[in-house]
Amino acid sequence: MEVNSVAYGKHTRSPRGSKTRAVLNSAMKAHGRRLRKSNIPAKLIVDALQPFRENFKGGMFWQRLVKHFAAQAKKGDTYSVNGIGNWDLNDMYLTSRLMTPDIEITPNDEFSNLKITINYTFSNRFLKRRKDITSFRITLIFLFPDFKNNHIITTPVVLPDKLLTDSAWYAFIVQIPRRANSYLVCFKAEACTNGELNQISPNVDKAMCLIGSGIKT
């Protein structure tokens, strides 16, 4: 049979169980249950980021999240942002092809706010091909997930456009919602020309990645 998947494109395979009867042992069944349950926290994060991905689509981000949470479940751990580091949302459009972000995220002792300082340096590849790009618009999307109750609070912060020649750092504070005990930060960069976003084609001159996470201690 011919199948067409987003991840692997068009390819041919035999239907499962058509050559030999498909038998799942107990380990495989347990693995399947973990994957199904891990869809829930993964969907929480994916859905929260979806409104910011209208012009930056694709990638294996969903699969990576499910694998992350399934691994936690296998070890008997509760779902958490522990272990989620610098993940590009689409490995075909790496953030590093444009820039390297440098961010510091510092929660206060009461875990009531986050102090953010952020800057970025451009890649040599970008500087050679920058065309008519004059600035970048950076959006930081702060996610505060509650995996126990399947609830998430999203706080986006759109920073002022910054010219390519401007090397100044951004610094600001984000309030942590009451009762939140963890955070996840997504970085989005969009190229601009004279103050207007470059929207010629999806994903081009844009980047999105998870850039930081933390848990209340």
Q: What are the residue ranges spanned by the domains of the chain?
A: 80-215
Residue 63 has a pLDDT of 95
What angle is formed at CA 118 by the lines to CA 160 and CA 79, rounded to 5 degrees?
A: 110
Residue 99 has a pLDDT of 97
pLDDT tens per residue, range 141-185: 999 999 999 999 999 999 999 999 999 999 999 999 999 999 999
Cα separation, 125 vs 14, whole angstroms: 43
Residue 37 has a pLDDT of 87
Lookup result for tokens 């790009």: 133
Residue 52 has a pLDDT of 97
Residue 36 has a pLDDT of 78
**Amino acid letter, 101:** P
Residue 171 has a pLDDT of 97
Cα separation, 15 vs 22, whole angstroms: 10
Residues of the chain with pLDDT under 70: 1, 3, 5-9, 11, 13-35
Q: What superfamily does domain 80-215 belong to in CATH? A: Immunoglobulins (2.60.40.10)
Residue 131 has a pLDDT of 83
| pTM for this prediction | 0.85
Radius of gyration, CA atoms only, the chain: 20
Residue 150 has a pLDDT of 96
Decide: 134 and 192 in contact? Cβ < 8 Å: yes
pLDDT tens per residue, range 124-145: 999 998 889 999 999 999 999 9
**Amino acid letter, 114:** L
Cα separation, 190 vs 208, whole angstroms: 9
Cα separation, 89 vs 62, whole angstroms: 9
Cα separation, 201 vs 189, whole angstroms: 15
Cα separation, 127 vs 107, whole angstroms: 34
Decide: 66 and 84 in contact? Cβ < 8 Å: no
Residue 196 has a pLDDT of 93
